[in-house]
Structure 1
Amino acid sequence: MKKILLIAAKDLRLAFRDRAAIILMLAAPFLLTLGMALVTGRLASPGGQSSGLSNIPVLIINRDGESLGNALVETLQSAELDELLDAQVVEDEEAARRAVDEDQVAGLVIIPPGFTQSVIPEQAAIIDMAAEPVKLQFYANPARPNSSAIIETILREFISRVEEGRVMGMVSVFQMLTSGVVSPAEAQAYGDEMRQLFQSAQEEDLSVFEEAGTLNLKVIGAPEQESVRFDVMAYMAPGMALLFLMFTVTYGGRSFLAERRQRTLQRMLTSPTALPQVLAGKMLGTYLTGVMQLLILIGGSSLLFNLRWGDFWGVLALILLATFAATGWGLLITAFARTPGQVSTYGSAIMLVFGIMGGSFIDLSMLPDFVRLVSRITPNAWALDGFTILGLGGGLSDLTRPLLGLFALGCVLFILAVLRFSRRRDLVQ
């Protein structure tokens, strides 16, 4: 055990003395995170102006003119969204579409006639469970994908809340009718009352963004709990850290094969040191380097971006198990590579692929189902799930699934790597 620890300590020391490694392990993720913070408006300039997305121009045509249509217009023009959106109500649809096509605005929201009536009809007691509400229309500008995505997110959140209230109201009245709690005659009065309550709810503050880059998630039905504000940096910062963690875990593999090429490995094995001890020491050194990398990045981002990562023990557990799973990939790459250059090539390719598939660059919910399924072979996806849970106010007890996923992934990768190493006869030649 002492020999394993000595080898690990040596590799850890060498990793943090390598200037090129320091740049890729620490400087690069910090700079990328800073750049994404500037793009999304997470950082503000001294003058108070957002340095990212702001005043996104969007046009609205309200052909509904009733409570829900008016509530959506008020939401898009609310004070909470004033810095993010520049929403204007217009009447001419043809001119509005032309403005989108000519890249003058980011999108056009069309509230169709009958939108309110399709959700909360006047005859509230007449329940049609199969009825579909009239759909909103959003004409997006493909030249402004980020701005369009933000507007679409706001609309989807609005629709989600409206649909939730609609279905709950319909089911409640239906259950009262079928159970005999109320008669059909009484259902009309209950339906009218629910309609009034629902309309009143739509007139309240329905804004889903309080400021650029921040989601305001309100806990419905639990007023004693505080609203949880999800900072997008709590997703971007760990995404960049996990991306470059995949570079770090190949460092031990490159070192191992470099020592083999320089024949220092063979000389080491002439001493009372077995090959499994050398491999274990190298991988332990890689693991400790990865843990130190994530700890430094998390600590630095907390100071630089004033970022709250959430529950301490949850963050620590994610760091330890995410590095464990990533180290498994590093060991497996080393088991198949024959030169340090191959480890670097394979590692760089996997780092980029895992960054895309695992959600470091794009929200996994925007990817097809089969991609989300395949992404579970990446430490990035599991760990980002965990960091998102912590960002939403969760704790260690809420991380069972991502932690088990990371542990299982790491175990499978280590087993495959050991089986591959056991078949190689060229390591000591």
Structure 2
Amino acid sequence: MTALIALVRKDLILYLNDKRALMLHLLMPIILAAFFGSLFGGAAETRTSKIEVGLVMLDQSDNGKKIAAGLKADDSLKILELTDAEAQARVREGKLAVAVMIPQGFGEQAGNALFGGRDKPRLALYYDPSQSTMLAMVKGLLTQQVMQVTSAAMMSSAGGPNTEKQLAELRASNASANDKAQVGEFLVSLKKFQDQRAANAAQPAAGEVPVGMSVPYTTQDQALSSGPKYNAYAHSFAGMGVQFILFMGVDMGIGILLARSLGIWNRLLAAPVSLTTVLAARVLSGALIALGLMCAMFLCAMLIFKVEIGSVVGFVGIALCFSLMTAAFGLLIAAFGKTPEAARGIAVFATLILVMLGGAWVPSFLFPEWVQTATLVVPTRWAIDGFDAVTWRGLGLAGALAPMAVQAGFALVFGGVAIWKFQRDQRA
């Protein structure tokens, strides 16, 4: 036991004296976690940034101006009025995701096509092909404004001439008698309503919403979780912490290979210390370093980015099990690595795959369903889901038990295979 403690103490002192390793394994994940956390929404009180949309306004009619005013009033949009050439140039350069060009006469033509469905005016939308999601969002908001303004205009007294025109077109069309009768009845009723408003000189009072179509509902948005409010930094710190601690495990394995190639490993084994003791010391020291790094990163997340840990016991349990798995992973690399150079390339590639499939870069719930199912055999997926469970999801110790068990299972498998390989090589 004395030899084991001495070996663990030696590894810890060597690691803490390596300032470069400390910076790489502690400072870098904090910087990247802060970046990704802000990218995916930041803390709960952070407001979502507005979507910048270019607006080329060629239609100066009342309806056109109302559509533009409605877009500018939308809380989710930031409208930039540009010329057509400027809008296209900004989209091509990637400085703007979407731009809308409202052509001259659009308001009148949209009113004519509202009921007839013919000769529809065309809106030009310029968009960055890498931002197609933004295009769909802007289309929906634009549809809402155009329908509301156009229908309100058609219901007003000013829409009378347009209704008369559509009645004349309906009578001259090739539609069936039944369709003509039904649509004609609707248009005649609309014309009577318009004439009545014109006779009464009815104008909307200040603040009065004009008669017209609008979205027939409002939403009450309520974010639900069992624990603290959602904080994107919690997930990003979990993902970046898992990534860089895995790289620390890779470095540990490469360090064993370097010691073996320099003959240090043989001199160590020549001492009155068993191979199992040496390997156990490496695993324990690596796990303690990993546990300390993870706790330090989340302490920074709590102090600076207001990340809340719902279950401290669950967090420590997951961090400990993941640390043991990482140390065993490094030992596995050392057991099967032929040379430090060859092992480093394969280990870094394997680590990146584990991190990517674990949801460290992009949350796993965004993966296709079959990928989400496949990643259940990836230990990093359980680690990140476990950290999410004990932080913003607030699932407590119960939500941490399964991730802890899976991490401990992988640690036993990796460690067992690595020890078997070391003992086999020693006998050979």
TM-score (norm 1): 0.61
1:54 aligns with 2:55: no
Residue in 2 that maps onto 1:92: none
Residue in 1 that maps onto 2:77: 86
1:243-392 maps to which residues of 2 (within 5 A)?
243-390=243-390, 391-392=392-393
Contact 1:32 / 1:240 at 8 angstroms: preserved in 2?
Answer: yes
Residue in 2 that maps onto 1:217: 223
Larger Rg: 2
Alpha-carbon distance between aligned partners in 1 of 2:285 and 2:369, rounded to the nearest angstrom: 36
Cα-to-partner distance string for 1:185-222 (whole Å, 9 max, x where unaligned): xxxxxxxxxxxxxxxxx956433xxxxxxxx5237xxx
Alpha-carbon distance between aligned partners in 2 of 1:230 and 1:366, rounded to the nearest angstrom: 17
Alpha-carbon spacing, 1:87–1:252, altered in 2? closer, same or farther (3 Å): closer
Residue in 2 that maps onto 1:403: 404
The CA deviation at 1:266 is: 1.8
1:142-153 maps to which residues of 2 (within 5 A)?
142-144=129-131, 148=134
Alpha-carbon spacing, 1:107–1:389, altered in 2? closer, same or farther (3 Å): farther
TM-score (norm 2): 0.61
Alpha-carbon distance between aligned partners in 1 of 2:5 and 2:389, rounded to the nearest angstrom: 34
Contact 1:314 / 1:399 at 8 angstroms: preserved in 2?
Answer: yes
The CA deviation at 1:345 is: 2.6
The CA deviation at 1:295 is: 1.1
Alpha-carbon spacing, 1:366–1:37, altered in 2? closer, same or farther (3 Å): closer
Structure 2 counterpart of 1:56, one-letter code: I
Alpha-carbon spacing, 1:261–1:295, altered in 2? closer, same or farther (3 Å): same
Structure 2 counterpart of 1:37, one-letter code: G
Alpha-carbon spacing, 1:333–1:49, altered in 2? closer, same or farther (3 Å): closer
Alpha-carbon spacing, 1:105–1:251, altered in 2? closer, same or farther (3 Å): closer
Alpha-carbon distance between aligned partners in 1 of 2:362 and 2:278, rounded to the nearest angstrom: 38
Equivalent pairs, count: 305
The CA deviation at 1:30 is: 1.1
Alpha-carbon spacing, 1:23–1:379, altered in 2? closer, same or farther (3 Å): farther
CA RMSD of aligned residues (A): 4.1
Cα-to-partner distance string for 1:209-260 (whole Å, 9 max, x where unaligned): xxxxxxx5237xxxxx9x8521111111110000001111123322322222
Structure 2 counterpart of 1:389, one-letter code: A
Contact 2:37 / 2:233 at 8 angstroms: preserved in 1?
Answer: yes
Cα-to-partner distance string for 1:352-403 (whole Å, 9 max, x where unaligned): 2212111110111222344334433433210111122221121002223222
Structure 1 counterpart of 2:359, one-letter code: G
% same residue: 23
Residue in 1 that maps onto 2:202: none
Alpha-carbon distance between aligned partners in 2 of 1:300 and 1:316, rounded to the nearest angstrom: 16
Alpha-carbon distance between aligned partners in 2 of 1:426 and 1:348, rounded to the nearest angstrom: 29
SS in 2 for 1:230: coil
Alpha-carbon spacing, 1:272–1:229, altered in 2? closer, same or farther (3 Å): same
Cα-to-partner distance string for 1:117-154 (whole Å, 9 max, x where unaligned): xxxxxxxxxxxxxxxxxxxxxx9964226x649969x9
Alpha-carbon distance between aligned partners in 2 of 1:327 and 1:260, rounded to the nearest angstrom: 18
Residue in 2 that maps onto 1:419: 420
Alpha-carbon spacing, 1:347–1:19, altered in 2? closer, same or farther (3 Å): farther
Higher helix content, 1 or 2: 2
The CA deviation at 1:268 is: 2.2
Cα-to-partner distance string for 1:281-315 (whole Å, 9 max, x where unaligned): 11211111111111111112211212113211111
Alpha-carbon spacing, 1:148–1:411, altered in 2? closer, same or farther (3 Å): farther
